[in-house]
Structure 1
Amino acid sequence: MIVTTTNEIADYHVTSYKGIVFGEVISGVNFLKDIGAGLRNIFGGRSAGYEEELTKAREEALEEMSRRAKALGANAVIGVKMDYEVLGADNGMLMVTSSGTAVIIEKN
């Protein structure tokens, strides 16, 4: 499955549009990552725990979107966009969404 932020794919042409597809992931950030992030906030530096959680959530959202595209019979997703939000009363949840257009492409 080709997944791209562009609306065209080099050496391919779109033969059919299958619709807009989404992938959503809501992930809780655990207590230990919060402690590490708090220390990084005081002393500076990057928060590896949060970065890992963000990377994992992004990958899962893209995988879910690709599965939904495949279920529609698509072999590519074009025009992909990603969005990130913090949710929950204590901002302890991370939401990552991806969206794009499921299409069927053929080699030129």
Structure 2
Amino acid sequence: MIISTTNNIEGQPVKEYKGIVFGETIIGANIFKDILAGIRDIIGGRSGAYERVMMEARETSLREMRERAEQAGANAIVGVKVDYETLGAGNGMMMVVTSGTAVVI
């Protein structure tokens, strides 16, 4: 499965459009990650715990989108967009939504 942010794949004309596909993931960060991130804010540096949570959420969302495209009979997804949003009380949850157009190339 080719997944691309571009609207076409060079040298691979689109033969059929299968429609828009999405992947959605909502993931929470626990109190320990919040504490560690707070310490990082004070002393500087990157928050590895939050980066891992973001990577996990993004990969899960992309996998879900790919599965939906496969179910539609596509072999590629073009025009992919990844959006991040915080949700919940105190922004304790993170939502990652991926979207794109499932196609046959």
Structure 1 length normalisation: TM-score? 0.95
> 2:7 is paired with a residue of what secondary structure?
coil
Deviating above 4 A after TM superposition, structure 1's stretches of 4 or more consecutive aligned residues are none
Are residue 86 (structure 1) and residue 86 (structure 2) matched? yes
In 2, Cα distance between the equivalents of 1:55 and 1:89? 22
Q: Which position in structure 1 is the counterpart of 2:6?
A: 6
Aligned pair count? 105
> 1:26 is paired with a residue of what secondary structure?
strand
Q: Which amino acid aligns with 1:88?
A: G
What CA deviation, in whole Å up to 9, does each residue of 1:13-49 have, x standing for no partner?
A: 1000000000000001011111110101111110000
Structure 1, gaps ≥5 residues long: none
Q: Which has the higher strand share?
A: 1
Structure 2 length normalisation: TM-score? 0.98
Q: Which amino acid aligns with 2:70?
A: K
In 2, Cα distance between the equivalents of 1:65 and 1:78? 12
Shift of 1:11: 2.0
> Cα RMSD (Å) of the superposition?
0.6
Q: Which amino acid aligns with 1:45?
A: G
Structure 2, gaps ≥5 residues long: none
Shift of 1:102: 0.3
